[in-house]
Amino acid sequence: MDFGVVEQVARLDGWLGEGGVVVLSGAGLSTDSGIPDYRGPSGSARRNTPMTYQTFTGDPVARRRYWARSHLGWKTIGRAAPNAGHLAVARWQERGLLHGVITQNVDGLHQAAGARDVVELHGNLARVTCLDCGVLTGRAELEHRLTAANPDFSAVASAVNADGDVDLDETALDGFRVVDCLSCAGTLKPDVVYFGETVPADRVSRAFELVAGARTLLVLGSSLTVMSGRRFVLRAVKQGIRVAIVNRGVTRGEPYADLLIDAPLGVVLPNLARDTDTHRLLPQ
């Protein structure tokens, strides 16, 4: 890190040490775990158009092809392990420095690192929901069923996206069979919020509550391009809560940031609040 970044990190370290920090994480936090982001350096949004709720529910062919791609994508997402950034966030929470964790990610890596009570704005790919009866099941169970239903499916993905979808030659999807809900034979969908779908109101409300009680809103690895995440930055600014952003590349949060660090998260985050003598454990 150059001297300017070192100074910025030291300033952020002081804010973290005061406690009351709410983390808002985006796809850039998970790139070191092998999951590409949307609009940052690995930029999957530049390669493909994400699945929309309207297309998934209204087009059976598109839905079948999505499940084939997602079936392959889960082989990467499901095996991904938390990186140094996720572990740092979990450590801060364990030591009482965090007021809460909000994530736009659907990979579950915050929890795998040991974080608790994470507000998953966009859901989690490890769960599957039935659009007809609403029952939730685990993704591992679905993967066993899809594998059994498609024993000869041998397609290979060229790239995996942050939402668990993959880039794949469309001809490789022919003949893929989907499976239905075991409870009611209804339509299954990953328990994630697609583009064009509304984030559940209780999650939004909980996230706003966390922001309102924060000393600092710390954005990690998000371009804040979509309002789903940027609204929390706007709320923090409105309420006089300082905003710090650590992100590689352009972010739409720049005009609102009291501190903006453009540097690798895997380098910056492990260097924050490492000294337990400097930053004492705060009351939970």
What are the residue numbers of the active site?
A: 122
Is 93 marked within a binding site?
no
User: Residue 105: which of 163, 64, 144, 53 has the closest Cα?
Assistant: 163
Encode 145-211 in three state secondary structure.
HHHHHCCCCCCCCCEECCCCCEECCHHHHCCCCCCCCCCCCCCEEEEECCECCCCCHHHHHHHHHHH
161 among the known binding-site residues? no
Q: With beta carbons less than 8 A apart as the criterion, state whether 80 and 107 touch.
A: yes
Q: Is 49 annotated as a binding residue?
A: no
Structure tokens at 93: 């929470």
Dig out the tokens for 122 from the structure: 């966009």
**44 in a labelled binding site:** no
- Cα-Cα-Cα-Cα torsion 125, 131, 134, 140, nearest 10 degrees, comes to -30
Structure tokens at 252: 């739409």
Annotated binding residues for Zn(2+), written as ranges, equal 130, 133, 181, 184
Annotated binding residues, written as ranges, equal 130, 133, 181, 184
